[in-house]
Homo-oligomer: A and B are copies of this chain.
Amino acid sequence: MSSQRHFLGIEGMVRADLEALLSRAREHKRSIEAGFRKTPLAGRVVANLFFEDSTRTRSSFEIAAKMLGAEVLNWSTRGSSVSKGETLLDTVRNIEAMGPLAIVIRHTSSGAPALCARHVRCAVVNAGDGMHEHPSQALLDALTLMEKLGGLDGRKVAIVGDVLHSRVARSNLHCLIKLGAQVVLCGPPTLMPSGIEALGARVTYDLTAALEGADAVMLLRIQLERQGESMFPSAREYARSYGLDAARAARLEEGAVVMHPGPINRGVELAPDVADGPKSVILYQVTNGVAVRMAILEACA
Chain A residues within 8 Å of B, Cβ to Cβ: 32, 35, 37, 42-43, 45, 47, 50, 53-56, 59-60, 62-63, 66-67, 71, 73-76, 78-87, 90-91, 93-100, 224-225, 262-266, 283-284, 286-287, 289-290
Contact = CB atoms under 8 A, between A and B. Distances in A.
Contacts of A82: 55
Contacts of A76: 79
A287 to B, nearest CB: 5
Contact of A262 (B94, B263, B290): B94
Contacts of A262: 81, 86, 90, 94
Nearest to A36: B43
Stoichiometry, copies per complex: 3
9 smallest beta-carbon distances between A and B, as pairs: A97-B286, A55-B81, A86-B263, A66-B71, A97-B283, A37-B43, A81-B263, A55-B80, A97-B287
A265 to B, nearest CB: 7
A168 to B, nearest CB: 14
Nearest to A64: B98
A274 to B, nearest CB: 14
Contacts of A60: 98
Contacts of A100: 63
B59 A95 contact: yes
Contacts of A287: 97-99
Contact of A54 (B71, B81, B263, B264): B81
Contacts of A290: 98-99
Contacts of A86: 55, 262-264
28 contacts: A37-B42, A37-B43, A43-B67, A45-B66, A47-B59, A50-B79, A53-B83, A54-B79, A55-B80, A55-B95, A62-B73, A63-B98, A63-B100, A66-B71, A76-B79, A78-B78, A81-B263, A84-B263, A85-B263, A86-B263, A90-B264, A90-B266, A91-B263, A94-B262, A94-B286, A97-B286, A99-B287, A99-B290
